[in-house]
Structure 1
C-alpha cells in the first residue's frame, strides 16, 4: 500500500492510500473546525453547519445530493467533533470522482435557504431532546462541562437550545468564512483510488480559493474538574468519572490507552471482572482514554442501581489504586495486543484508513507509519503503566452522576479513598 501526499499552492492538502484488491474507496474532506473553534455565542454552529451542508447547493437540491451518491450504490455522511468536521462518502472505484464532486459542491456552494435553515433547526432541536432523554449519552456532555467549565472544549457539540433557536444564515456564512479555507482542509481517500486523478480534480475544485489565516484554538484547554449530580427518577444511576490525561502528541498517550484497556477495556479487564463478573453490580462498565490537541481524559463509566452505586464507586477507586501497585506484565501484554489488533483490523477498512490519514496529517503534518505506531505501543512497559496509574490517582478529576444518586459518594470522598 502506498501513501501519497500533495499540497496545492493555497495550502489545500491531498493525501491518499491505494489499497490493492479493493473495488471501492472512501473519500472525504476533513475541516479543522469543530466545537472548540466556536465563540460562546456560536456554540452549536459547527454542528448546525454540518447539517445544512446536505440541504442544497447552487446545482443540486437536497434530494439530488442524496440521489447522486445513492444512485451508484454509495453512502454519504458527515460528523462534527470538538476539533474537526468531516464530510465523506463510500463509493465504488469508478465513482470516486463523483463522490469528491458532491462533497466539494456541498462545501463550496451551499445555499443556506431560510426555509431549509428552519427545517434543520427543528431536526437539531429534536436531536438535542433525544440526547437529553438518553442518560448514558448526556452524562458525557456534562462530564466534559465539569472537566472544562466555561471553555469551548467543555461545551456540548450540539449546542444549547437557546443558541440553536437563534442561528441565522449570516451566522453560518460567517463561520464558513473564518474556518473553511483551503489551508484548513484535508482531502483524504483510501482504497481503490488514483492519487494523480484526485490531485487534478482537487486543483480544479479548490485550487482557485485563497488561503486564509489560521485561527488556531480560540481558548487553550484548562482542566478544572469538580462534581455535578443530577437527581432524577430513573432505573439506574449513571456514573461517569474522568481524570486529566495526556494530549495526543504526548508519548504517554500510548501508556494511557494501555492503562485504560487493562482497567476497563474488555471482558478480561479489572473493572469488568471485579465489578460485573464477581459482584454483579452492573451490566455496563468500561474505561477509555481520549485525547485532544492540548489535553486528554481517562474516563470510567458505569450504570447501576441506587442500592449498589456506593459499593460500585468505592470498588472502582480500589481497583484504580491497586493498578498502581500490582498491574501485571500479562495484563499489559494483553492490552498491547488488543490495541495493536484493533489498529490493524481497523485498517482493513478504507473508511478507517482515510480517517487515519486525515487525522495524523492534521496532528503531525506527516503520516507516521503503522510500524511506528506499533513500535510506540510495544515500547510501553509494565512499570510505565503502574507509574501512569499512580499519577492518575493524583490528577485532577471530574465526576457526574445522573439518576437516583443520593447514596453515591462525593468526588471528595472518592479522591480520599483513592489516595489513602
Structure 2
C-alpha cells in the first residue's frame, strides 16, 4: 500500500507498507547529480555525497556509520547523473534512529576543511580506480561521444583538477542552492506505524528550509554522431555502440525494455547467440538502455580481441539492421512479456529496491508507478508499440562509437559502421548531428 504526503516545508514523502517483513528502508533522494553541474564544478555532487558522511554538529564520521552498524543496519549513498540518494536499511525497531541520522546528515553536516582535504585524497583514488577499469572509461567516452559538451557527458566522479579545487565555501554554497525540500523526496518502505513515521519525519525534517529556489531544468541534447577512443595497455578491445533510446517514463519504455531483452538481454538473446555462441568472438555482449529526463540512448557493449574486432562489429551491425527490419513474432512478444514481468517482480523483493523505485518515480515524475500499473503496461504491449520503438530507436542505426584498448585502429573500425553514421550528415531532423 502506497501513501504520498507533503510536509509543511514542501518535502515530499512516499511510503509503502509491507506487513510480512521486519525491516525498513529509508532514503532521502535529491534531484541533483552530475547533469546539474557547471563544467568547472563537475564532480561536486559526488564529492558532497562523500562529505555528508564526514561529520555533523552531533556526530563524528565514525559515529554516523557506527550507530547504524551497531544495530545491524546498513548505511550508504550513491550519485547518478540526475539524482543523489542517502539511505539506510535496518530492522524496523530502529526506524527512529535511521530517520534521525539521515536528517542529521542532510541538515547539520559541517564540511570542515580538514575533512575535505582528507576526502579529496579518497575521491582522487576512486577516480584513479575508475581510470583503471576499462568499462568505466568506455562509459565516460561513450557519453562524451554522443552528448558532446552537454552536462550529460560529464563524468559523475568529476576530474582530479576539480576535486582539488573544492573547499568548504564552494561546497556550502552548492548545498544551499541545490539541496532543498522542494526538489527532494523521503521514501520509506517496510513495516512501520504510519502515524508514528510521519511524526518522526516532521520532527526531524520539518526544520529543513533550504535556500534559494533552484529547480532542475534540462535541455534535451542533440545526439552527436562521432567517435571517442582511449588507448590503454590491456588485452581486450572494449567497444560501445550507441543509438537512439527513449526518455525516462516514456509511454513506450517497456516496449524498449522488451526489445533490448530480445536483442541483447541474456544468454538466449540475438547478440549472445550469434556473436558469442555461433562465432566465439567474445565472452560478454549485451544491449541496454540509458533513459534520462527528456532524452535517452541505447547501447551495445562487448569486449573482443583486437584481431576479432572488425568481424564482431560487422556481425553486430548486420544483426542490428536485421532486427530493426524484421522485428519479432507474436510468440516471441508474449514470451518476453513474461520475462520482463518476472525480472521486474523479482527486482522488487527487497524493501530497499522498492524504496529506490518509489523515490525515483516520485522525484522525477511526481507520482508513483504501482506494481499493478507496471504489470498492466507490460501486458498491454502490442505490435504497434514494438514497431514504433523499432522505427524510432533501432532502424536509424548506430549513432556514435567508443573504444578502449591498445593501439586502436578506430578509423578502420568506424568504416564498418560509417554508412549508418553518414545517414545523419548535416541533419538535425531527429535531434542528431553529424560531427
User: Normalised by the size of structure 1, how large is the TM-score?
Assistant: 0.95
Pairwise CA distance, 1:398: 1.6
Alignment partner, residue 359 of structure 1 = 360
Alignment partner, residue 293 of structure 2 = 293
SS in 1 for 2:276: helix
Distance 1:221 1:16, change over 3 A: same
Give the alignment of 1:7-46 within 5 angstroms: 7-46=6-45
In structure 1, stretches of 5+ residues that fail to align are none
Alignment partner, residue 111 of structure 1 = 110
SS in 1 for 2:290: strand
Pairwise CA distance, 1:144: 0.8
- Distance in 1 (alpha carbons) for counterparts of 2:220 and 2:413: 28
Residues matched between the structures, number: 419
SS in 2 for 1:16: strand
Pairwise CA distance, 1:395: 5.7
Alignment partner, residue 384 of structure 1 = 385
- Distance in 2 (alpha carbons) for counterparts of 1:409 and 1:342: 39
Pairwise CA distance, 1:219: 4.5
Give the alignment of 1:263-278 within 5 angstroms: 263-278=263-278
Range with greater deviation from structure 2 (169-178 or 215-224): 215-224
Contact 1:224 1:396 in 2 (8 A): no
- Distance in 1 (alpha carbons) for counterparts of 2:422 and 2:222: 23
Alignment partner, residue 53 of structure 1 = 52
Range with greater deviation from structure 2 (33-42 or 48-57): 33-42
Alignment partner, residue 77 of structure 1 = 76
- Distance in 1 (alpha carbons) for counterparts of 2:92 and 2:173: 36
Contact 1:258 1:336 in 2 (8 A): yes
- Distance in 1 (alpha carbons) for counterparts of 2:346 and 2:286: 21
Contact 1:78 1:88 in 2 (8 A): yes
SS in 1 for 2:165: coil
Give the alignment of 1:27-176 within 5 angstroms: 27-176=26-175
Distance 1:218 1:407, change over 3 A: closer
Contact 2:310 2:413 in 1 (8 A): no
Deviations 1:202-234 (A, max 9, x none): 211222333652422265433223101223332
- Distance in 2 (alpha carbons) for counterparts of 1:261 and 1:184: 33
Task: Say whether 1:205 aligns with 2:208.
Answer: no
Alignment partner, residue 399 of structure 1 = 401
Contact 1:321 1:419 in 2 (8 A): no
Task: Say whether 1:416 aligns with 2:415.
Answer: no
- Distance in 1 (alpha carbons) for counterparts of 2:334 and 2:27: 35
Pairwise CA distance, 1:36: 1.1
- Distance in 1 (alpha carbons) for counterparts of 2:2 and 2:115: 39
Contact 2:190 2:351 in 1 (8 A): yes
Contact 1:25 1:191 in 2 (8 A): yes
Contact 1:310 1:408 in 2 (8 A): no
User: Normalised by the size of structure 2, how large is the TM-score?
Assistant: 0.92
Pairwise CA distance, 1:332: 2.6
Alignment partner, residue 427 of structure 2 = none
Range with greater deviation from structure 2 (400-409 or 79-88): 400-409
Alignment partner, residue 242 of structure 2 = 242
Pairwise CA distance, 1:417: 6.0
Pairwise CA distance, 1:319: 0.9
Contact 2:137 2:404 in 1 (8 A): no
Pairwise CA distance, 1:13: 1.1
Contact 1:264 1:270 in 2 (8 A): yes
Deviations 1:102-141 (A, max 9, x none): 1111111111111111111001000100111110121001
Pairwise CA distance, 1:38: 0.9
- Distance in 2 (alpha carbons) for counterparts of 1:126 and 1:369: 40
Pairwise CA distance, 1:368: 2.4
- Alignment root-mean-square deviation, CA: 1.9
Range with greater deviation from structure 2 (56-65 or 387-396): 387-396
SS in 2 for 1:394: coil
Alignment partner, residue 351 of structure 2 = 350
- Distance in 2 (alpha carbons) for counterparts of 1:157 and 1:355: 19
Pairwise CA distance, 1:71: 0.7
Deviations 1:68-116 (A, max 9, x none): 1011000000000011000000000100110111111111111111111
Contact 1:76 1:89 in 2 (8 A): yes
Range with greater deviation from structure 2 (265-274 or 379-388): 379-388
